Amino acid sequence: GAGVSQTPSNKVTEKGKYVELRCDPISGHTALYWYRQSLGQGPEFLIYFQGTGAADDSGLPNDRFFAVRPEGSVSTLKIQRTERGDSAVYLCASSLTVTSGGTGELFFGEGSRLTVL
Amino acid sequence: QQQVKQSPQSLIVQKGGISIINCAYENTAFDYFPWYQQFPGKGPALLIAIRPDVSEKKEGRFTISFNKSAKQFSLHIMDSQPGDSATYFCAASGNNFNKFYFGSGTKLNVKP
């Protein structure tokens, strides 16, 4: 498809388990973002990738959260030792960079809803 | 500390009316101010955006008003329609688009 694809769309796990969430950005978009959206709240920044490298990971809440983008396309958000407070919708967005003619528009996927029991 | 403050939290408007949502920011380094629209179960989608060098931008029924000195901006939806019922988020970013700060959202309900 032409849009940002996120899998799984829903994930239910038990406290303490490990979770991986995948994002497949729009082809050609070198900028990739992860955001977390809690119920009734706006998206909260987690991490920004420029190509393969994490240009800004200042939003990752603690060392249980980690994200990779090894080939500059697909990204995986990894959460270790999940806690109930991690329950949220995890949104991925991609965009063109400024140098590639980007205007700042973020293209979001539909999100992965994580529920930690 | 919330970088972008948005109000109201919810809004009910009659069909054909004007919907107004307000946002305020503190960081003068912000250089780009978009509004996103989100329907239930979907990701946010860009509606309209403005840079601080203009005071107003209009696209169809949607208008952003920007007040640089007051560090405030607002979204106006003219002739509101039931199909506009969604949650709206304001946001702000620096000119490198590395990080976007979103408001807490306004749930708009347009009654037929």
* C-alpha to C-alpha distance for A67 and A54, rounded to whole angstroms: 8
B28-52: per-residue pLDDT in tens?
Answer: 999 999 999 999 999 999 999 999 9
**A11-116 maps to which CATH number?**
2.60.40.10
Reported confidence tier of residue B110, pLDDT bands at 50, 70, 90: very high
Average pLDDT of span A5-9: 97
Average pLDDT of span B90-102: 93
* C-alpha to C-alpha distance for B111 and B82, rounded to whole angstroms: 6
* C-alpha to C-alpha distance for A4 and A2, rounded to whole angstroms: 7
> In percent, how much of chain A has pLDDT > 70?
99
Residue ranges per structural domain of chain B: 4-111
CB–CB contact A41 B43 (8 Å): no
- The minimal CB distance from B34 to the residues A56, A104, A110 is found for A104
- The minimal CB distance from A42 to the residues B97, B98, B102 is found for B102
Residues 61-80 of A with CB under 8 A from B: none
Total count of residues recorded for chain B = 112
Residues of B in contact with A34 (CB under 8 A): none
CATH of B4-111 among 2.60.40.10, 3.90.550.10, 1.25.40.80, 3.40.50.300? 2.60.40.10
Contacts of A33 (CB under 8 A, 6+ apart): A45, A46, A47, A48, A49, A92, A93, A94, A95, A106, B100
* C-alpha to C-alpha distance for A75 and A24, rounded to whole angstroms: 7
